[in-house]
């Protein structure tokens, strides 16, 4: 593989700016700062020549792939519909319980955790990681929670069974 393709791939895969030192470390080659800058310039010239919507910028002493300003209005639409949610420890805990025990009621979640969980459940609902489903069980109206397709997408799973069948979980359960 050539250095240009590797550098481009690294920059595409990383959200944060990548320093020359990190590029050298990934390549396991001692390129000078000028050599890296020349490769970046070649990539930027290719992007411009091919009328791509991206360019590589040098910010905070590092490189990052950025979008051209004329494309920002399109990205904003996608970002508004694809917001990421950082989970707190409590959020991860409740989400794990729901994922492994679904469908599960709030009372069952709270009995496992030992604390009130309604605010965490509401946050997970707001962020579309879980949904609720009313169930008429022996004339009782109960609400059960289960994970969503967005949960599967977020964690890179095709089905919930993929989570349950992971090798790490099998080892933990032994």
CA distance 106 to 118: 7
Domain that holds residue 64: 3-78
The answer on 105 and 48 residing in a single domain is: no
Cα 44 to Cα 60: distance, rounded to the nearest angstrom: 18
Same domain, 126 and 60: no
Q: Which residue's entry shows tokens 């080659």?
A: 29
84 within domain boundaries: no
Q: How far apart are the first and last CA of the chain?
A: 42
Q: What pTM was computed for the model?
A: 0.51
Considering the domain boundaries, does residue 147 fall inside one?
yes
Tokens of 167: 């090798």
pLDDT above 60 for 63:
yes
pLDDT winner (highest mean) among 73-82, 131-140, 150-159: 150-159
pLDDT tier at 149 (50, 70, 90 boundaries)? confident
Domain with residue 20: its CATH number is 1.10.10.10
Kindly state whether residues 55 and 101 are assigned to the same domain: no
Which residue bears the tokens 């791939």? Answer: 9
């Amino acid at each position: 593989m050539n250095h240009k393709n590797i550098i481009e791939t690294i920059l595409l895969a990383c959200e944060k700016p990548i320093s020359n030192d990190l590029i050298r470390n990934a390549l396991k080659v001692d390129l000078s700062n000028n050599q890296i800058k020349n490769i970046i310039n070649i990539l930027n010239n290719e992007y411009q020549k091919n009328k791509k919507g991206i360019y590589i910028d040098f910010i905070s002493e590092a490189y990052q792939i950025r979008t051209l300003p004329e494309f920002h209005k399109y990205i904003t639409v996608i970002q508004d519909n694809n917001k990421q949610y950082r989970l707190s420890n409590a959020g991860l805990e409740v989400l794990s319980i729901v994922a492994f025990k679904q469908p599960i009621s709030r009372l069952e979640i709270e009995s496992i955790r030992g604390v009130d969980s309604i605010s965490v459940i509401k946050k997970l609902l707001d962020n579309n990681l879980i949904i609720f489903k009313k169930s008429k069980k022996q004339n009782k109206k109960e609400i059960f929670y289960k994970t969503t397709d967005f949960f599967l997408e977020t964690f890179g799973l095709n089905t919930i069974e993929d989570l349950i069948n992971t090798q790490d979980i099998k080892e933990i359960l032994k």
